[in-house]
């Protein structure tokens, strides 16, 4: 497997990153089976693992820590994230509120969050510590200064952002330069054949600043797994139960996703390739992309995705993909991962007087 520079950090990672979101109560609850999947990924040449504190409320990190015991830790670039609400029931829906100080991007929470993650991961350091989402209540300087201190203490090697819009990435870079702080070295955005909005702005910005790009959900949350086809039974998944709005086929935006996923599936069939391989290869062959995060729940899912790293897509096939989903567009706006407050809150964009 080839290895690529992780931005300008000097670290090198495989073009496939093993996402650990599905290890634990959100996906595979059997720790031994999850560890077996992680070891299989490492044996296949993947040297990059990404998790987050919020995944199954810390259980994912515990599982990853078990998998990297007995001498495996030093051979892996280990990434995790902070920001999400902690201290709520593991089966809570996305957006559940708890203690407001056990979430976000404040120095107070980041300093506590990194210690909690280090303990669960059973490691002395984290290679890449990422801010999971922007926080409108916290200045970039507050966040970056805390991360810079942790880096100087040796608890983290580098830090990055996740699902930041392009303008927030630029603001953070400028803040780091003006204040003499460490800067985000990577960005982790949603990107797939159905979610291409970042091609218009975020990817060029990341290239300009020499940032590594680590797209999440290259299979568009399962829509490009091959299971969403016209005439097929609607899949019943844990993810659909947790985020029903993104999968309810009675909603027009999800019908559009079904139409596009079916057309892309036909295109893959014509090419003699699996839709899974085409979808992942599409993401990792973009010049700005460093490594695509795959998130298998089972060994079969892992096996079905590994071969994508060896697939090269021809110009004609890429042109056909562009016809189905035009460059720089998202089939559903809800899949962008982040909605600016000015859009989410009508009171911020309307005058009533």
Residue ranges of the domains in the chain?
Answer: 9-348
pLDDT value of position 237: 77
Active-site position among 55, 129, 228, 247: 55
Per-residue pLDDT band for 161 (boundaries 50, 70, 90) equals: very high
55 is catalytic: yes
pLDDT value of position 230: 87
pLDDT at 265 over 90: yes
The rounded distance, in Å, linking the Cα atoms of 280 and 258 is 18
End-to-end CA distance of the chain: 61
For 54-68, write each residue's pLDDT tens digit.
Answer: 999 999 999 999 999
Q: Which fold has domain 9-348?
A: TIM Barrel (3.20.20)
Cα 51 to Cα 11, 181, 236, 277, 312: the distances in Å are 18, 25, 24, 23, 28
Identify the three-state secondary structure at position 133: coil
What mean pLDDT do residues 23-35 have?
A: 97
- Read off the tokens for 72: 């495996």
Per-residue pLDDT band for 340 (boundaries 50, 70, 90) equals: confident
């Amino acid at each position: 497997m080839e290895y690529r520079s992780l931005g300008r950090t000097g670290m090198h990672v495989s073009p496939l990153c093993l996402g650990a979101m599905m290890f634990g109560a959100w996906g595979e609850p059997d720790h031994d089976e999850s560890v077996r999947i992680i070891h299989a990924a490492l044996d296949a040449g993947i040297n990059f693992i990404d998790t987050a504190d919020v995944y199954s409320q810390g259980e994912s990190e515990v599982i990853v820590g078990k998998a990297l015991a007995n001498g495996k830790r030093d051979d892996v670039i280990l990434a995790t994230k902070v920001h999400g609400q902690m201290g709520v029931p593991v089966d809570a829906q996305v957006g559940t509120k708890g203690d407001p100080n056990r979430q976000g991007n404040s120095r107070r929470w980041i300093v506590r969050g990194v210690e909690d993650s280090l303990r669960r991961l059973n490691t002395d350091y984290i290679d890449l510590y990422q801010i999971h989402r922007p926080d409108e209540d916290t200045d970039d300087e507050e966040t970056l200064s805390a991360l810079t201190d942790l880096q100087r203490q040796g608890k983290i090697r580098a830090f990055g952002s996740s699902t930041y819009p392009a303008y927030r990435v630029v603001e953070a870079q400028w803040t780091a330069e003006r204040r003499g702080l460490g800067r985000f070295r990577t960005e982790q955005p949603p990107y797939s054949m159905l979610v291409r909005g970042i091609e218009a702005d975020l990817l060029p910005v990341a290239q300009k600043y020499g940032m590594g790009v680590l797209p999440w959900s290259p299979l568009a949350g399962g829509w490009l797994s091959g299971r969403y086809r016209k005439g097929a039974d609607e899949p019943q998944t844990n993810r659909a139960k947790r985020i029903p709005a993104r999968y309810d086929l009675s909603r027009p935006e999800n019908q559009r996703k079904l139409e596009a996923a079916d057309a892309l599936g036909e295109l893959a069939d014509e090419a003699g390739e699996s839709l899974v391989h085409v979808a992942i290869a599409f993401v990792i062959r973009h010049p700005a992309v460093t490594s695509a995060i795959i998130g298998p729940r089972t060994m079969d899912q892992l096996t079905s995705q590994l071969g994508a790293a060896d697939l090269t897509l021809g110009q004609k096939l890429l042109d056909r993909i562009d016809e189905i989903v035009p460059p720089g567009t998202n089939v559903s706006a809800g899949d962008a991962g982040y909605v600016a407050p000015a859009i989410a809150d009508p009171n911020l964009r309307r005058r009533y007087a």
